Chain A
Amino acid sequence: MNGIEVTLISGRTARQGIGLEEGKTSQGYIKSVNEVSLCPEDAASLGLSGDEPVTVATEHGSVVAHWRVDKGLARGTAFFPYGPWANQVYASSTDGTGMPQFKGIRATLSPAAGGKVPSLQEIVESMRRAEH
């Protein structure tokens, strides 16, 4: 697999804040949280181009997401806005604190050859299906 190791950081963005006030089902919100940011050099090393999405994987889970370039990120660091997509890869373990670790997680990014970014409804359905 043509992947790279990164440290994954989650966080807020203004776009996400504006989007969530339109509604979680709005395109503004969905587009603000279903993409991961990485530096131009990492995007180039993965051979990413156009609309091809990426797979973000941790030892806990994986998700296919859109990507964008952020020149402010260093090599080996990726940013994933808080939201249903990012939460597919985080563990629920809190080490007795109540708080899961949303920042500073080891993850792998790789081109999602032929993969499709799940819709909000698909993510909700996958949560439902997990009960059976």
Chain B
Amino acid sequence: MKHEDVVCPFCGCLCDDLEVTVEDGHIVGVKNACGISRSKFMSHGLNRVSAPTVEGKEASLEEAVRESVGILSGARRPLVYGLSSTECGAISKAVELAEATGGVLDNTSSVCHGPTILALQQVGESKATLGEIRNRADLIIFWGSNPTEAHLRHITRYSGTAKGMYVPEGRKGRRIIVVDVRETGTSKMADQFIKVEPNGDFELLEALRATVRGVALRAEAVAGVPMDQVRALAEVMKGARFGVVFFGLGLTQSEGRHMNIDAAVGLVAELNRHTKFLLTPMRGHYNVAGANAVTTWQTGYPYAVDFSRGYPRYNPGEYTSVDMLARGEADAALVLASDPASTFPVDAARGLAKIPVITLEQKITPTSMLSRVVIPVATAGIEAEGTAYRMDGVPIRLRKLVEPTEGVHSDEEVLGMILEGLKGGAEK
């Protein structure tokens, strides 16, 4: 059977034009997919967690849930972490579970675009859907982002080569500029590559902002970029009909972090005195935007939420997972839809190894290897349906294409079982 317009649950592009062929309950072909997406659909059955385990020994689902309930009810400072590679129903259930345990809830944005959120909460943002950008943008700037490696169809579907209503020529109708610390696949296909010194983005953004504002800077170069080039770029930006900055972790993970985004927003605000300009973060995990959205509408805050006082409190730097684990503050963790043992710096990963961890995962990961309880779950967008938010905040419905292995449930269902156990224990 052929499924059309399938949504890819890998990156924040959420490409929704895939064609997936299913035969005898197995995926046998994928069309329109990028290399990563193809790997996701065609390899989704490889290296799976085959059964629930407790202390490394195979257990029934009921035993694994009971052990999870025991760990969470005995913990004083449990951490619920991940969320970004699952659908919104599961995220909502995770919020409920974190509240029920009086723990801390955090998602992977704390190590990707958390600084972006911090900055946007301070200074606001000028944004548009990817559809509007595709139809209107004539100047595309990739700043500290590299879609040719991380968002493989972004350039062809939304930003670079796509033909739009007011950009009918496609690539010829758009100017593409890359600002980065190194040459990348994206910089090679751009009209212009501006090489900024590592950790120099803040200075360059502020110099551009000042130049757009008409301030004559006396520097000869800023962050390794000659002032002539800065002035020329400012003119190109002011002269655009509709410009957009797609920025990535080059800004959020280098020195300055949220202040780099603050400077980018300031530049874009200044440009809006001259023309239409906006900025969009290149969100990585396919539903990290949904993790922020669901957590915000349920708690008021997008990540780093503490429930220990019975009401939500927000403090990135304190209730963020890397900090909690490196400090040795969390005494138990429930991880779903992410692999912090692989993605956190070593001290935080060791912090995870010291405490009882419950992991809901499809595949064997370093986090599942370190976990006391591992419960296999269905892959959202392949074996379970649900909703995910694209990087521009547009919600898109994920489809279920094949049945999960018998006895394997969705993230939302497993979280519901643990939650029921916690509530049952509280009533006794």
Contact = CB atoms under 8 A, between A and B. Distances in A.
Interface of A: 7, 9-14, 17-19, 21-26, 60-61, 72-74, 77, 79, 82-84, 87-104, 120-121, 123-124, 127-128, 130-131
Contacts of A22: 39, 43, 46-47
B345 interface: yes
B346 A90 contact: yes
Q: Is the interface of A mostly helix, strand, loop or mixed?
A: loop
B328 to A, nearest CB: 10
A11 B254 contact: no
A128 to B, nearest CB: 5
A22 to B, nearest CB: 5
Q: Would you list the 5 A-B pairs with minimal beta carbon distance, nearest first?
A: A23-B47, A98-B320, A72-B183, A92-B326, A96-B317
A91 B346 CA distance: 7
A101 B255 contact: yes
Interface in B289-310: 303-304
Given A12-B146, A14-B149, A94 B344 contact: no
28 contacts: A11-B149, A12-B150, A13-B149, A14-B35, A17-B149, A17-B150, A18-B36, A18-B38, A18-B39, A21-B43, A72-B182, A77-B181, A83-B343, A84-B349, A87-B344, A92-B322, A92-B344, A94-B317, A97-B316, A98-B322, A100-B111, A101-B254, A103-B198, A123-B366, A124-B366, A127-B341, A127-B370, A130-B350
B38 to A, nearest CB: 8
Interface residues of B, number: 70
Contacts, number: 191
B50 to A, nearest CB: 12
Contacts of A61: 346
Interface of B: 10-11, 35-36, 38-40, 43-44, 46-47, 110-111, 114-115, 118, 146, 148-150, 152, 181-184, 187-188, 195, 198-199, 249-250, 252-255, 257-258, 284, 303-304, 316-318, 320-323, 325-326, 339, 341-350, 352-354, 363-366, 369-370
A15 B249 CA distance: 18
Given A127-B350, A130-B354, 16 more contacts: A12-B284, A21-B39, A21-B44, A22-B43, A23-B47, A72-B182, A73-B182, A77-B182, A79-B182, A83-B342, A91-B345, A97-B258, A98-B115, A102-B249, A104-B198, A131-B353
Given A24-B366, A94-B320, A102 B253 contact: yes
B350 A82 contact: no
Nearest to A14: B149
Given A12-B146, A77-B198, A124-B366, A98 B317 contact: yes
Q: Which of B253, B349, B364 has the most CB of A within 10 A?
A: B253
